[in-house]
Amino acid sequence: MKYYFAPMEGITLYPLRNAHRAMFGENIDKYYTPFLTAHYNFKFKKREKKDALPENIDHKAFSNYTDQIVPQIMSNIVETFVWAAREMADLGYNEVNLNLGCPAATVTNSGKGSGLLRDTDYLNEFLGGIFDQLREDDISISIKTRLGFSDENESEELMKIYARYPAKELTIHARVREDFYKGPLRLDAFDRAVRIYRECGGAAAICYNGDITSSSIGGAILDEEKVDKNIMNEADHNNDTLNKLKSLNSFNEISAIMIGRGLLSNPALSRELSGGPKLTALELKTYLQKLYEGYENYIPEERNVIFKLLEHWAFLDSHFADSEKYIKAIRKSRSKGEYFAAVNNIFSSCDFI
Ligand SMILES: Cc1cc2nc3c(=O)[nH]c(=O)nc-3n(C[C@H](O)[C@H](O)[C@H](O)COP(=O)(O)O)c2cc1C
């Protein structure tokens, strides 16, 4: 089984990808960038383009970034998608991923992300356009989708459409847009969707996504900062997803599992799932140090570097027993000195779970 690090806006940027790859990358086959919007004026935002530039990749960690990193594109216009894919090909990438899953209203209202799932005629036309125009280019297209917009039965038509085009890989998040990232997974519908996709001749590799986590996810520490606590907490309701997945008829069709929140909570999760050793306290401490260093070069103000790290801490409290007051101190830190004092304190005072 292959494991992928899911794209997560604002989180899986190059400082994280570099730090994670250097320490835990052995068991991750691909890292996805958060989505880059292909704007109508054929320009990327500077910040988004920066995330894909090869000069920001740790080439010691990524010996073959062209296959190990996949830029994700957000677009609903053939011409802008094709332009963006070619820009990424020029940077050396061998694959781009089309975002058909983002549930945010600002995205879906403009007919992008999972908003594209609502109008299947247009989706079909759009896919026809991009696969046709990029047919002779040196770049593969993969797709990340959901089972539908508001109803899982929409997946039947969606799979029939996907099956018509030569996607390299089809990642399916086992929910519909209206679930966002919460609530029970729709594994039966996922199973059916994969069957229909194959019956219709769909040949892409299948990647599963949703709630793969071996331990409960943190999230209690951040409520007033930038993080959406509801989203952050949702992956912990279902620790046996993997077992349920294994019982599906379609399990044999799944060649990869994409993990998001589970890897934020436990950066060694893919190693553990591959039968390797459990995360140690020292590893986590070193990883957090590396993340800090990476973000320090990425974000100018110290305070904002700390806020970025707090987004990570939102997933990490479950590793520490009786940690409430120590977590609070981390949350309250406003300088690098305060932050590291609080982090050292939690590691020296709490049992590591
Ligand atoms: C904060 C956050 C940001 C995300 N950003 C993206 C994104 O840029 N592109 C995308 O396709 N999915 C995005 N996702 C969805 C994840 O890639 C993944 O599908 C989702 O977290 C479910 O997987 P998990 O249960 O393993 O976390 C995001 C999810 C979260 C919580």
Average per-residue pLDDT in the chain?
A: 93
What's the 33 CA to ligand 1 centre distance in angstroms?
Answer: 11
* Ligand 1 and 107: CB distance under 6 A: no
Q: What is the mean pLDDT of residues 154-182?
A: 98
Per-residue confidence band for 239, with pLDDT thresholds at 50, 70 and 90: low
State both tokens at 126.
Answer: 């759009």
Q: What percent of the chain has pLDDT over 70?
A: 93
Is there an atom of ligand 1 within 6 Å of 91 CB?
A: no
Average pLDDT over residues 139-150: 98
Mean pLDDT for the stretch of residues 245-253: 96
Q: Which of 157, 221, 154, 212 has its CA nearest to residue 181?
A: 212
Q: What pLDDT is stored for residue 10 in this prediction?
A: 95
Q: Does the CB atom of residue 113 touch ligand 1 within 6 A?
A: no
Each residue of 119-129: pLDDT tens digit? 999 999 999 99
pLDDT tens, residue by residue, 40-83: 999 999 999 999 999 999 999 999 999 999 999 999 999 999 99
DSSP per position, 198-255: HHTT--SEEEEES---SS----TT-SSSSS-HHHHHGGGG-TTHHHHHHTSGGGGGEE
Task: Encode pLDDT of 284-297 as tens digits.
Answer: 999 999 999 999 99
Domain boundaries defined on the chain: 2-273, 281-349
From ligand 1's centre to the CA of 119, what distance in Å? 22
Measured between its terminal Cα atoms, the distance across the chain in Å is 26
Quickly name the fold that domain 2-273 has: TIM Barrel (3.20.20)
pLDDT, residue 120, reads 98
CA of residue 84 relative to chain centroid, distance = 19
pTM assigned to the model: 0.93
Return the pLDDT at 240: 82
Task: Express each pLDDT in 265-286 by its tens digit.
Answer: 999 999 999 999 999 999 999 9
CA distance 14 to 343: 23
Which of 3, 4, 8 to mutate for ligand 1's pocket (most ligand atoms within 8 Å of CB)?
8
